[in-house]
Amino acid sequence: MEQTILRPTAEQRYADELAALRRWDVGNPKPENWQLSPRAVRLFLLGTGRGQTLEVDGARISIRKKYYGNDALVERCIITLAGNRGLMLVGEPGTAKTMLSELLSAAISGHSTNTVQGTAGTTEDMIKYSWNYALLLAKGPSREALVPSPLYVGMEQGILTRFEEITRTPAEVQDCLISVLSDKVMNVPELGDGGILFARPGFNVIATANTRDKGVNEMSSALKRRFSFETVQPVGDVALEKQIILDEAGAMARSAGISAPLDEDAAALLATAYHELRQGVSAEGIRLKKPAAVMSTAEAVSVYYQTLMSAWYYGGPEQARRLDERALAENLMGAVAKESREELAAVREYFTAVVQQKAEREGGAWKRFYEAGIRLK
């Protein structure tokens, strides 16, 4: 029997779409060892579009849009990966860098789990290779005794290697990548003459880095030159952000067995609040204090989902139909207070300067949100 897991990989979640795209893709030009052509990879990330479908073996298949934002950025990323430079996705927290890297790896290589997670404790052998000491002692240095890193696996099999949060690793460890990215070889001196690993076609590196972490360990310019940098921007459009909140929270709810209907008004309200606080200016042109906390779409999704869960577990499906604005306001404040309690001043100011006006003008969810929010003070 198939076991359920908490978070299936992108290739598991979208297995049907990937299989359909593979059948559709016949005849499109494709780099060696890629599972899909750049065209099909693009479709996988950006979707077939509203009401549009692909014809696959006589059936009509629609592909869900997964990344909202800059389509040209996605196209450039795919082309970079087909070339000989690595791809570096940089940006604010929660701008879907990790999501893009997972989706690209799943579509291009069929795997998204060949990943190095960069931390302050990442060492050179986590990036290159280490040894199984029992086998090393018994048989001496051999491929069998070598424990490959995700980078090694990527080179050996011709698949992508993801490097998450690369700037959190010490600079001298990051620099192990330089020769791999420029010469596409890795030396394993312990293995003697046979100890040179040549990368197979299809290998490349997708790294992600958070602009808030930048400066912790500045990347060397030698390494920077071996990457194409792409800056991923936060979602700029309130309607899109609302759609992401509904899609993502809906998918999370489904996989948790929560069948509550989604509340569009609450999602719109949350998207507006996050957008205005992030920009430091309201739609009406009122200047606001920007909270130091991360006001990302990912945070908005989790505030919405948390509110949905409390409605579902404490209120039952009837109450979940309309999210409780008090819980929404509480969860929003909790998310902002993460950095420090003082940050709440920015949210309070938002309530008195902006939410009050919207409540008077629009009523409905804004009115309930305002009333719940001022009571929380």
Ligand X SMILES: Nc1ncnc2c1ncn2[C@@H]1O[C@H](COP(=O)(O)OP(=O)(O)OP(=O)(O)O)[C@@H](O)[C@H]1O
Residues that bind ligand X (CB under 6 A): 67-69, 91, 93-99, 208, 210, 235, 244, 248, 297-298, 301
Q: Which amino acid is at 19?
A: A
User: Which of 132/233 has CB closer to ligand X?
Assistant: 233
Residue ranges with strand state E in 312-363: none
Closest approach of Cβ 155 to ligand X, in Å? Answer: 24
Pick from 239, 241, 350: nearest CA to 291: 350
Closest approach of Cβ 356 to ligand X, in Å? Answer: 29
Our finding on whether 98 is near Mg ion (CB under 5 A) is yes
Closest approach of Cβ 165 to ligand X, in Å? Answer: 7
Q: Which does 241 bind (CB under 5 to 8 A by kind): ligand X, Mg ion, none?
A: none
User: Which of 82/298 has CB closer to ligand X?
Assistant: 298
Gyration radius of the chain over CA positions: 24
The rounded distance, in Å, linking the Cα atoms of 26 and 20 is: 11
**CA 128 vs CA 19, 31, 174, 189: distances in Å:** 32, 25, 11, 12
Pick from 167, 163, 164, 169: nearest CA to 214: 167
Q: Is 278 exposed, middle or buried (0-12, 13-18, 19+ CB in 10 A)?
A: buried
Q: Which residues are CB-contacts of 286 (< 8 A; sequence separation ≥ 6)?
A: 353, 354
With both helix axes pointing from N to C terminus, report the angle between 297-310 and 264-279 in degrees, rounded to the nearest 10: 140
User: Which of 207/327 has CB closer to ligand X?
Assistant: 207
Closest approach of Cβ 112 to ligand X, in Å? Answer: 12
Pick from 292, 262, 283, 279: nearest CA to 355: 283
Closest approach of Cβ 98 to Mg ion, in Å? Answer: 3
Q: Which does 273 bind (CB under 5 to 8 A by kind): ligand X, Mg ion, none?
A: none
Q: Which does 96 bind (CB under 5 to 8 A by kind): ligand X, Mg ion, none?
A: ligand X
**Position closest to Mg ion via CB:** 98
User: Which of 81/294 has CB closer to ligand X?
Assistant: 294
Closest approach of Cβ 187 to Mg ion, in Å? Answer: 31
The rounded distance, in Å, linking the Cα atoms of 176 and 124 is: 7
User: Which of 94/154 has CB closer to ligand X?
Assistant: 94
Closest approach of Cβ 89 to Mg ion, in Å? Answer: 9
Q: Which does 297 bind (CB under 5 to 8 A by kind): Mg ion, ligand X, none?
A: ligand X
Taking contact as CB under 5 A, which single stretch among the options 95-103, 172-180, 215-223, 260-268 is the one that binds Mg ion? 95-103
Pick from 186, 202, 183, 208: nearest CA to 94: 208
Q: Which does 277 bind (CB under 5 to 8 A by kind): Mg ion, ligand X, none?
A: none
Provide the binding-site residues for Mg ion, judged by CB under 5 A. 98
